A = this chain, B = another copy of it.
């Protein structure tokens, strides 16, 4: 059976860089935007739309009390959410069948449980995450610290809801992971260099 490493990460904790470097170092496959492209193809949905639903919880767009006329809108999205989740789950299994791999997010720790993955979780304190977001931001995307903090909270809340909805488990519960790594003030490359030997 191929080796699978799943990486769950708090927003701004360096999860994507960690996963990419780890895959490089171990010679494992690493899939990221390819998954969105392939899902769009398989579901006939636009890539941007698939991206917009990615790791978002399928809660209705509007509270039910606003009006019943809006209900069908929410239902279509819920259907897309569910279709995408099933397709994504199948796709992840196909990829894991192909070769050793590292997968970020996407409830991969649960979807790929048959592969007995090493489930890593990355976290960091809020100030370190704000700094990491600032360091990697494009010139055009200058947010204030307060805005970044808000984005971090919103993204993590969405990821937690998504995970809860599809796995029934708490995203932030350390018991769902094998190793949790604090990336506060850590250099991700150095962290990966240390961990790669262990995970071989």
Chain A residues within 8 Å of B, Cβ to Cβ? 123-125, 174-175, 177-182, 184, 194-195, 197-199
Majority-rule SS of A interface residues: mixed
Cβ-defined contact, B182 with A179, below 8 A? yes
Cβ-defined contact, B174 with A180, below 8 A? yes
For this chain, the copies found in one complex come to 2
9 nearest A-B residue pairs (beta carbon): A180-B180, A198-B198, A194-B198, A197-B197, A178-B182, A125-B175, A174-B180, A179-B181, A123-B174
> Nearest chain B CB to A156's CB is how many angstroms away?
14
What residues of chain B lie closer than 8 Å to A198, measured between beta carbons?
A: 194-195, 197-198
> Nearest chain B CB to A110's CB is how many angstroms away?
15
What residues of chain B lie closer than 8 Å to A175, measured between beta carbons?
A: 123-125, 182, 184
Report the Cα distance A197→B179, complex, angstroms: 16
Cβ-defined contact, A174 with B178, below 8 A? no
> Nearest chain B CB to A165's CB is how many angstroms away?
22
What residues of chain B lie closer than 8 Å to A182, measured between beta carbons?
A: 174-175, 177-180
